[in-house]
A and B are shown apart, each in its own frame.
Chain A
C-alpha cells in the first residue's frame, strides 16, 4: 500500500515538471527571413517574415518591421506584434542592406544569433542591393512565387549550385570575420518589381564593411581560387578567332566565341618572401571540355593555339581579379592562410594587418590546360 502511494506521488511529479520549453509547432511564428536595414535617420530597422499557417488568413506570410537598438531588443518588440512566439530556429536567410553594410559591421548586429545555442548556424548571409522594405514589398506582390523564406533560400541555393555566388552561412561568416588571413564575402542579391536575382558576391574589408562586389563573371574565378567548384563545372566564354582560319567570316565575327567548362582542377600555391614582399605562385592545372568553338576554326589544326588562348584568357582574368582585391585591400581567397602555413616568421610580422601586406604582395599564375573533350560534333 505504501509502495503504491509512493509510486503514485512519484508519477504525478512526472506531469508537473518538464515541458517548460515545449512549444507546439503551430503556435510558433517561424522567422524564416531576417532583414537588417537602416532608415533615413540611421536607425536600425529589423524586418522579419514568418509563414502563416491559418487557412482563414488570406496572406500566407506575415511580414513585420520594427526599429530597434539591437537584434535582441527587436525581438521583444516583434513579440508584441506577433500572433505566435517568434522562433528563429529555422532561420533560412539573413538579409543585410548594402547601405547598412557600408556603415556598420553587420557582424556586431548578429551577435545574438551566435550566442543562443538554439539558433541555427546555417542561415545564408545575403547582402541586398536596395532597401529590405522594398524587397519584402516586391516579393509579396509576386503571385507565382512561394513564401519569401522558401523563395530566397531556393534562389541562393541554386545560385551557389550554378557558380553564381559563394556559399557563406552564419558559421562560415563567423570564421571569415575572426580569421586574420581572410576577409569576409557573401552572396549579393538585387531585385526589381518582377524578380529577385543574384548579382554576384559582396566583399568586405577587414573592418567588416562592404567594399566592393564581384559580378557573375568574376565570381566563378573566386570560386576556383577557393576550390569550391569541385562538383560543378564553371563555364567561361571569350571571343576567339584563329590566325590560320580561312578568314571567310572576315571581320564583325564577334559573336564567334569559344566556350569551355572546367571539369577537373588541381591547385597548388607556393609562398616565398622576397625583400619583405610576399610572392605567391599559383599553379592551376585544369581539365576542360570545349563546349563551343567558332565554326571556322579547325580544332585538330589549331589545338595548340586554342590551348594557349585559353591559358592566356584565364591568366588575364585571374590577374584582373587579384588586382581588384589588392586595390581594395581585401583577401577573400584567404592567401593569408597560405602565408601563415609556409612563411610563419614573416606572417607574424604582418598578421594584424594582413590585407595591407596582401595588397603589396605579388601573385603569379601558372595555368596548365588539358583539353579533354571537344564535344561529339566533328
Chain B
C-alpha cells in the first residue's frame, strides 16, 4: 500500500503545547497589536472566533473578541459595542459603568482569557491598557425545559433538567429557597473543562461524606467528561458492583427531595441529569409520585415494585429449576399442562429461556434507539416473535412465553432505569445457575448476591441500609410509605447531621 503522500507541514508559529503554555502564563501586552498577534497564534484555525476592531469615542483602538454561537448576539451588539462606541465620557477607569452587562471581570493573563472565551464571555482589549475585560455575554442554543421522558409523573412537577448547568441549579433552587443550599464548583477534564456543581444543604449533609466526594472529584484527571454517566463511573465506590450505587435523575423536584434528606447532588454542565449520592438500594424503588399520592396507594405500589424486583430476577430461574429438577413442587394439573406444552419443544429449558430473553432484550434495545415510526415496526415484528408464532412453530412453549412476558413487565415497573437494567442483567446468571444446580443453585446465587449487597457502600455509607444494617426507624419510608405526618425524622441512612424534619402542631392520625 502506498503511504500517505508526504506533505510539507505548515510552518507553525507555536511549535508545541509547551510554547503555548508559556504564552498562556504571560500577562497581556499594553500594545494592542502584540495582543492581536498572540491571539492569531493561539486561536489559529478557529474560524468561529470573532475579532472586532473598533475605535472608542476617546479615539483609542479597541478590540472585542468572542466565540460566535456561544454568546448572545443582541447583548454583545446592544450592551457592549454600542455604548463603547457612542459614549462620550469613556476612559479606561470607568469601562464598567459604560457597559450595561451584569458581570465584568478584569483579567491580566492569557490563560483565564482563553478559558472564559470558550465559556461564552466576550473579551475587550483597549490599546494602552495592559488588562482585558471579560464581559459575560453567554448565550448558546438551549433546549426548552420539558418533562423528562424516562421519569414522567402523574401528579408531580413536569419540569426536567436541561443541558445547561446554570439553569439546572436554578431549577433546584426554585424548590429550596434557603441560604443553606450551598454549591461547590469544580472544573474537571483537561480539554472539556466541564463544570461540576456540587449541591448540598450545609446543615444537613455529613461533612465527611461531602469531603469524600470532593476528594474523589479532585482526583479525576481525564481529558473530558461529557455526561453524568461518565462521572458516575469515575467516582463510584465499587466499579464491579451488581447494582448502581448512585442515582441519576432528570427531575429537579426529586433532586430537591434527596438534598433535603441530607444527600449530595452533582450537576454536570452539558448533561441533563443530576448525580445523587450517597444512595441506598431501596431508594431506587421510590419515585417523587409516591409522595404526591396518598400513603396507602403509594405503599401498595411500592410493595408491587419490590415484588416485581424478585419476579424479574428469579422467575425464569425458578421456572427452569422446577421443570428440570423439582417437578414435585408443581401441582399435578399444572404439571400436565406444562408437560404437554413442553413436549413439542426440542430444546432444553435453558436454551428456550435464553432464546426468548435475548429476543426480548434485542427488541427492547432496538425499540429504544430507533425513531418512533420504525419503532412501531419493531413492536409488530416482536409481537409475532415473542408470541403465538414462536409457540406454534414449536420453538418455545406456551408457559415460557408467559414467564418471559411477566418477567419483562416486572422489570419495566422498576422506576429507575439504571436499576431496571441491572436487574435484567442479573437474571441471566440466575438462569444459568438454576440449570446447573436447580433450587440449590438459586439459593446459593441469592446468598452470593446478598453477601455482595451488604458489602456495598455508596460514598462510604452502607448501601444496604436500612435492611442491612437494620435501621428500623428508616422503614417508615421503605417498603411502605408512612403518612407524611408520621415521618418526623429524616432517614438516618444518608448520615444527615440534623434529624428532625418537622414539628407539626396538627393532631396526629385520628386523634381529636
Contact = CB atoms under 8 A, between A and B. Distances in A.
Interface of A: 14-15, 18-19, 21-26, 28, 30, 32, 51, 53-55, 87, 89-90, 92, 118, 120, 147, 149-150, 153
Contacts of A51: 336, 339
A87 B435 contact: no
A22 B332 contact: no
A28 B335 CA distance: 11
A54 B346 CA distance: 12
Majority SS at the chain B contact face: helix
A147 B342 CA distance: 18
Given A18-B436, A30-B327, A53 B339 contact: yes
Nearest to A32: B332
Interface of B: 323-325, 327-328, 330, 332-333, 335-336, 338-340, 342-345, 348-349, 435-438, 441
Contact of B435 (A19, A21, A23, A118): A19
B342 A26 contact: yes
B339 A26 contact: yes
Contacts of B340: 53, 55
Contacts of A18: 436-437, 441
A150 B438 contact: no
A22 B328 contact: no
Contacts of B335: 25, 30, 90
A120 B382 CA distance: 42
Contacts of B325: 21-23
Contacts of A24: 323-324, 342, 348-349
Contacts of A55: 340, 343-344
25 contacts: A15-B436, A19-B435, A19-B437, A21-B325, A22-B435, A22-B438, A23-B324, A23-B325, A24-B324, A25-B323, A25-B335, A26-B339, A26-B342, A28-B327, A30-B327, A30-B339, A51-B336, A51-B339, A54-B343, A89-B327, A90-B328, A90-B335, A92-B332, A118-B328, A149-B332
Nearest to B344: A55
A89 B328 contact: yes
A90 B332 CA distance: 7
A50 to B, nearest CB: 10
Majority SS at the chain A contact face: loop
B437 A25 contact: no
Nearest to B343: A53
Contacts of A153: 332
B364 to A, nearest CB: 28
Contact of A25 (B327, B435, B436): B327
A341 B349 CA distance: 54
A32 B335 CA distance: 11
B436 A90 contact: no
Contacts of B333: 150
Contacts of B342: 24-26, 53
A167 to B, nearest CB: 17
A289 to B, nearest CB: 34
A135 to B, nearest CB: 19
Contacts of B332: 32, 90, 92, 149-150, 153
A150 B333 CA distance: 7
A19 B343 CA distance: 21
A22 B437 CA distance: 8
A54 B438 CA distance: 25
Contacts of A26: 339, 342-343, 345
Given A26-B339, A89-B328, A19 B436 contact: yes
A32 B333 CA distance: 11
A54 B345 CA distance: 10
Nearest to A149: B332
**Nearest 4 pairs between A and B by C-beta?**
A53-B343, A53-B339, A89-B328, A26-B342
A160 to B, nearest CB: 16
Contacts of B330: 90
Residue in A21, A23, A25 with the greatest tally of chain B CB atoms within 10 Å: A25
A53 B323 CA distance: 14
Given A18-B436, A26-B339, A55-B344, A120 B327 contact: no
A14 B436 contact: yes
Given A24-B324, A55-B344, 5 more contacts: A25-B339, A28-B327, A89-B328, A90-B328, A150-B336
B444 to A, nearest CB: 11
Nearest to A22: B324
Contacts of A150: 332-333, 336
Nearest to A147: B336
Nearest to B335: A90
A32 B339 CA distance: 14
A14 B333 CA distance: 34
Nearest to B345: A26
Nearest to B436: A18
A374 to B, nearest CB: 41
Contacts of A53: 336, 339-340, 342-343
B344 A25 contact: no
A153 B333 CA distance: 11
Contacts of A90: 327-328, 330, 332, 335
A52 to B, nearest CB: 9
B316 to A, nearest CB: 15
A89 B331 CA distance: 11
Contacts of A118: 328
Contacts of B339: 25-26, 30, 51, 53
B440 to A, nearest CB: 9
Contacts of A54: 343
Contacts of A32: 332
B265 to A, nearest CB: 38
Contacts of A19: 435-437
A23 B438 CA distance: 11
A141 to B, nearest CB: 20
Contacts of B349: 24
Contacts of B324: 22-25
Contacts of A22: 324-325, 435, 438
Residue in A14, A23, A53 with the greatest tally of chain B CB atoms within 10 Å: A53
Nearest to A54: B343
A320 to B, nearest CB: 39
Contacts of B436: 14-15, 18-19
Contacts of A15: 436
B497 to A, nearest CB: 43
Contacts of B336: 51, 53, 147, 150
B326 to A, nearest CB: 9
A20 to B, nearest CB: 10
Contacts of B437: 18-19
A147 B338 CA distance: 15
B17 to A, nearest CB: 36
Nearest to A154: B333
A54 B344 CA distance: 7
A118 B325 CA distance: 11
A153 B336 CA distance: 14
Nearest to B348: A24
A242 to B, nearest CB: 50
Contacts of B338: 25
A176 B437 CA distance: 37
A24 B327 CA distance: 9
Nearest to A153: B332
Contacts of A23: 324-325
A121 to B, nearest CB: 11
B349 to A, nearest CB: 6
A205 B344 CA distance: 49
A153 to B, nearest CB: 7
Nearest to B336: A51
Contacts of B438: 21-22
B148 to A, nearest CB: 40
Contacts of B343: 26, 53-55
Nearest to B341: A53
Contacts of A30: 327, 335, 339
A334 B336 CA distance: 38
